Amino acid sequence: ILLAGLVVLAIANMVLGVFLRYAMVPITDYLNLTPFRFFWVEELGEYSLAWLTMLGAGIGLAERAHFTLRLVAHHLPLQVQRVIHIVNHAIIIAFGLLTAWYGGRLVETNITLISPGLQISLAWLYASAMVGGLLIAVYGFAMAIVEYREIVHERGDEIGAITGAGD
């Protein structure tokens, strides 16, 4: 719902920006009125797209909606594939934590700066990287745990089959 709201906000903001630029500016010029200031539209679009991108990346990871290229791994044994998936998730976790850390540093650096159009702290813009990075790391960790449990479960089944347990 949050992502849908951000998409609607970004689209409505773009439509409003186009309307103000190509309809209102000529009207105010023609009527010799004070021009309508709408430079805040670009900043609102920037903020909404930054948050949409970072939250969407985390949620896309949780939903396994990201593109994967399977060239070699699917030919390997299932256990090896699972280990590759865990290593992949470890890399994703590291990327998410790095993004969150740098996002936090940007928030600290820019917390006192005010955006000229919206008159809000620039920290809100960079907080999207921090929150999105944390989401990526948390979802990556959760997916790595799921993969690890599947490996342990399969090994338990193999041991049970060898020893005849459960017969």
Q: Which of 94, 163, 104, 167 is nearest to 131 (CA)?
A: 104
Q: Report pLDDT for 55.
A: 93
Question: pLDDT tens-digit profile of 131-161?
Answer: 999 999 999 999 889 888 887 777 665 554 4
CA distance 49 to 8: 11
Contacts of 6 (CB under 8 A, 6+ apart): 48, 51, 52, 55
Query: pTM of the predicted model, to two decimals?
Result: 0.79
Write out pLDDT tens, residues 4-57.
888 899 999 899 988 988 888 888 888 888 887 788 888 999 999 999 999 999
